[in-house]
């Protein structure tokens, strides 16, 4: 890979964030990160989708394009307190506001069962997901 | 003029749909495996057409009502004024407006899809586009017929009398969405949404002999999600999340250890008094609740 090709510094994902790593063609006017075409905001121009999402208080209704997803993601994190899981070599300080969960926990954990009795939740259909009990 | 423009736009939108999209509208069903991006490209224009068609239908209904009222009013005026021949074009124009709007309304009504497509399916697919690898397919099965379509009727109670009303209760079961996907972090996801709708029709004859019927709905949307999270990447959190879980007190949660994965199953019921789709947030909260119950494992291989 050529060292002259810059990589997009935005993160893909919703519940778990991962590096985009596509070739970057733009620089965000606010955060100064390198950004690929997909993460470049059509409106307002000159910003990455993350900064455009942070500039608006509410997510935009409409076409469910990447702009919608990023604004909804920002809205969701900031209103529900959800802490996304974070994959990447280092935690980008840009995402510190979301209190991301990087590889910072040991595997001490209960092994099985039940936060609640929940006999209603067994039968979830869905193709070859194979998630039913049977 | 607005109605004509809206209806023309809706017609133009329909004209831009490809054969597969028109087939989905005609059959009101879709089942298949495509990438999340391809599903959005396929179903997005259908959802936009449905939203535009709903606006057109509402507008046409107003014009139809206006045309009927105009016909009666101008017809009465023509008769009362004695200038029937001169004023005759007015009630005729009213009839033409009402008929034209009625015919267009009927045509659009045949193309009506459940609002669940735009209200819940599209936001879910947008989230899955972020969560899945671009080449990985998502399986989805959608039933976009009206929630109270005759095929979905499961029980109809005999007529009963209550408070001067004749009451008929009908129960509908609408298993309108299920699907599965493999997420980029190796987790396997399955989900389903089933609506149970109680339709109550109350009919009463008023003192003037006019029969009036009111229809009320009670809907329970049963949302279920199962996420199998690979042990190699995730460990159950030492403590169940407290506060801010967003899935509500009535949600059911169950965790099962399987071969190489912990499966977290969650279910919740969302109640409403209309046929409008439940907020997509309900389903997204369930998925988030599964991820709240795990932590990334130390030293795990990155997906």
Report the alpha-carbon distance of residue B43 to residue B123 in Å, rounded: 11
Q: Which of B44, B131, B296 lies nearest to residue A63, judging by beta carbons?
A: B44
* Percent helix, percent strand, percent coil in chain A, to nearest 5: 25, 15, 60
Question: A81 to chain B: which residues are within 8 Å by CB?
Answer: 243-244
Amino acid B170: pLDDT = 96
Higher pLDDT, B10 or A119: B10
The phi and psi torsions of B177 (rounded to 5 degrees) equal -150, 135
DSSP string across A67-90: HHHHHHHHHHHHHH----EE-SSS
Report which of B61, B27, B59, B62 is spatially closest to residue B46, judged by C-alpha positions.
B27
B262 Cβ contact list (under 8 Å, min separation 6):
B228, B229, B231, B234, B236, B255, B256, B294
Amino acid A58: pLDDT = 63
Mutation choice for B interface testing from A17, A80, A115, A118 by most B CBs within 10 A: A115
Residues in chain B: 303
Distance from the Cα of residue A95 to its chain's centroid = 10
Is residue A91 within 8 A of residue A84, CB to CB? The reply is no
Q: Do A127 and B253 touch (CB under 8 A)?
A: no
What is the count of residue pairs from A and B with beta carbons less than 8 Å apart? Answer: 188
Q: What is the ipTM of this complex?
A: 0.81
Amino acid A126: pLDDT = 43
Q: Taking residues A98-105, report their average pLDDT.
A: 72
Give the number of other CB atoms < 10 A from CB of residue B164: 8
Point out the residues of chain B with pLDDT beneath 50. 243
Q: Do A103 and B291 touch (CB under 8 A)?
A: no
Report the alpha-carbon distance of residue B159 to residue B255 in Å, rounded: 45
Bridge pairing between strands B252-258 and B188-205: unpaired
Quote the pTM value. Answer: 0.84
Residue B165 C-beta-side C-alpha neighbours within 13 Å: 13
Amino acid B205: pLDDT = 86
Query: Is the pLDDT score of A119 beyond 50?
Result: no
Reported in sequence order, the residue ranges of chain B that DSSP labels E, i.e. its strands, are: 29-35, 137-143, 153-156, 160-162, 165-182, 188-205, 211-230, 234-236, 252-258, 261-272, 294-296
Q: Taking residues A71-92, report their average pLDDT.
A: 87
Q: Which of A13, A65, A126 lies nearest to residue B190, judging by beta carbons?
A: A126
Sign of the torsion angle spanned by Cα atoms A107, A110, A112, A118: negative
- A118 and chain B in contact, CB less than 8 A: yes
Name the pLDDT band for A132 (thresholds 50, 70, 90).
very low
Query: Is the pLDDT score of A128 beyond 70?
Result: no
- A62 and chain B in contact, CB less than 8 A: no
Question: A105 to chain B: which residues are within 8 Å by CB?
Answer: 235, 237, 295-298
Provide the 8-state DSSP code for B93.
H
């Amino acid at each position: 890979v050529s060292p002259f090709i810059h990589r997009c510094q935005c993160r893909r994902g919703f519940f778990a964030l991962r590096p985009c790593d596509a070739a970057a063609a733009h620089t965000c006017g606010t955060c100064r990160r390198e950004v690929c075409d997909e993460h470049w905001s059509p409106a307002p121009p000159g910003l990455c989708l993350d900064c455009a999402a942070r500039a608006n208080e509410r997510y935009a209704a409409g076409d469910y394009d990447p702009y919608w997803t990023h604004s909804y993601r920002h809205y969701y994190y900031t209103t529900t307190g959800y802490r996304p899981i974070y994959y990447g070599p280092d935690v980008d300080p840009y995402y510190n506001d979301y209190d991301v969960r990087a590889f910072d926990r040991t595997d001490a954990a209960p092994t099985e069962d039940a936060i609640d009795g929940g006999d209603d939740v067994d039968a979830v259909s869905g193709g070859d997901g194979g998630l039913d009990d049977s | 003029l607005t109605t004509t423009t809206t209806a023309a736009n809706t017609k133009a939108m329909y004209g831009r749909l490809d054969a597969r999209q028109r087939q989905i509208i005609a059959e009101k069903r879709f089942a298949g495996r495509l990438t999340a991006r391809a599903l959005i490209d396929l179903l997005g224009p259908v959802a936009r057409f449905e939203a535009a068609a709903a606006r057109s239908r509402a507008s046409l209904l107003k014009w139809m009502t206006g045309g009927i009222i105009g016909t009666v009013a101008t017809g009465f005026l023509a008769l009362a004024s004695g200038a029937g021949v001169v004023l005759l074009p007015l009630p005729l124009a009213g009839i033409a407006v009402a008929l034209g709007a009625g015919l267009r309304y009927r045509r659009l009504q045949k193309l009506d899809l459940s609002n669940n497509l735009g209200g819940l399916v599209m936001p879910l697919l947008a989230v899955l586009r972020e969560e899945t690898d671009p080449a990985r397919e998502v399986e989805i099965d959608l039933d976009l017929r009206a929630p109270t379509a005759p095929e979905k009727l499961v029980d109809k109670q005999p007529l009963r009398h209550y408070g001067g009303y004749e009451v008929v209760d009908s129960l509908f079961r609408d298993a309108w969405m299920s699907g599965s996907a493999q997420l980029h972090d190796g987790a396997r996801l399955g989900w389903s949404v089933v609506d149970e709708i109680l339709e109550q029709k109350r009919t009463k004859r008023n003192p003037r002999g006019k029969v009036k019927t009111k229809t009320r709905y009670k809907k329970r949307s049963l949302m279920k999600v199962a996420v199998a999270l690979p042990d190699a990447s995730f460990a159950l959190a030492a403590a169940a999340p407290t506060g801010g879980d967003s899935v509500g007190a009535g949600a059911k949660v169950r965790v099962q250890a399987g071969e190489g994965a912990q499966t977290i199953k969650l279910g919740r019921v969302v109640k409403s008094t209309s046929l409008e789709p439940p907020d997509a947030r309900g389903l997204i909260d369930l998925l988030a609740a599964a991820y709240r119950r795990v932590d990334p494992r130390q030293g795990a291989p990155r997906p």
